[in-house]
Structure 1
């Protein structure tokens, strides 16, 4: 949203400067507002187009390269509408790419100019290309949000592809996180038995968690089938040498990384489910091994910032 608003201001300023030039030199009889609206809508659609590619490809260089190639290709393809008239269904289909929709509209405006028909707001509102740019903007943003949820990045647990069809996504459960767990034994007989006073007090249950990193043909096992119960009201320490997998385990439990195999629950919530992970983050926190404070903020400003990130209501921040 922040990048979208910022670039929308850029597009607004740029359109304001370019419109008078086009209006004076190329389309003198056309309406200033109609030209401005066309340029502005194309700019907004282009921003959302890049957002969609960014969430799909995840890398800045790949996004910029693909965006350039597609813009050039469909922009060039739109020039063909000057030569021959495309079937309406084909034009509508190609108009799903905003460079084509914009180029096709410019071609139509040029043809109208030849026959003394100027571009006015009434003309543009009757034109399918005008609506195509609006539809494209909405479609690109929805796809950007969708790809961002289902395509995993370096960090995070993705949603399943059809997550939006689940009732649990739209209607969140309000039940408490305290939940009766199943008490099946996940350990072998070689593991020390647990005192009866801890029975049914497992807050974190880790069952055969594995994590393998692969770079080209080289595989590195960070976790090899770890099983562990962590109990309420207890301080649990995990010891190990550098590279033993301690940070990897915390990354998995906090949703920064997805396990290669195995499962874990924090109270009733499963760490491999994105909707459950959102609930887990409301009741848990991780203090990383490196400093995360902002050096240019005061101590109080840092505390206020993280209180907001943690979801503390604005009215309660000062008291907290």
Structure 2
């Protein structure tokens, strides 16, 4: 067993043009004052990290790490969710996902894909220079538009899709392996890796690459009506990163899992602040601890009702209260006794 680290916070949803959310120092002081011990850094926010410099300069990484450490914080992971998304984009989504790309690459999907691959590889080197062993990202998607197929999928389509997805990720995975860093894919609707079966398809397509791992976020499984507890039993050995985010699913006679094209507040499946949803975090923390998952508990705020500031204030305490100090003792050790082979035989009547 292993004690989960935390609490930590993913900074992406808190970045703003107003202080303290518009500078690294401001966000670090804010997070530390709330009781957080770690931060997950979105690498697309250049004022938080210059990924080019981080991949090239150990001095830059040492200075960045030192600044963050000065606030009593650690970097839990770097995140390339947006860049990872661009590794694989179906043409139907090109216009919307161009928002994640530099201006000079908009409308150039092939060049955008290559830029995304190289950018995620830079995050591997930066992570190694920062002393971080896990990295958070998205897989991207070539097949998502066929998730509920009509007309039906032709034979071989899914296999070809995962073959292509693996082909794009293999150079990245190999580079992460060289740097000694695990790639943790957030299993998420909209990605080709969105449940257990699709994770296994991708793992097989990469030849069971040892750097293919999971960012576990139960909120996405509630929206799919997937058993998020048993998921840990199946995949605990791959869980190297953990987003603590709550959600709820309240279907009606008018809407269910697909949401009716409604905004978040009006959907049956909604993300909520910690403790306001339906997720059984006590069991989740127990299982992750029991299985010895070496993860940071990172709060991600995406509530459709509560403000991010209140969600962050409450989230630090919520996580701290759920972290289990893994025991090093067995409760009935006091009743034990020294033994030897002969004694064991006598007990068995041999």
Larger C-alpha radius of gyration, 1 or 2? 1
TM-score normalised by the chain length of structure 2: 0.20
TM-score normalised by the chain length of structure 1: 0.21
Answer 1 or 2: which has greater helix percent. 1
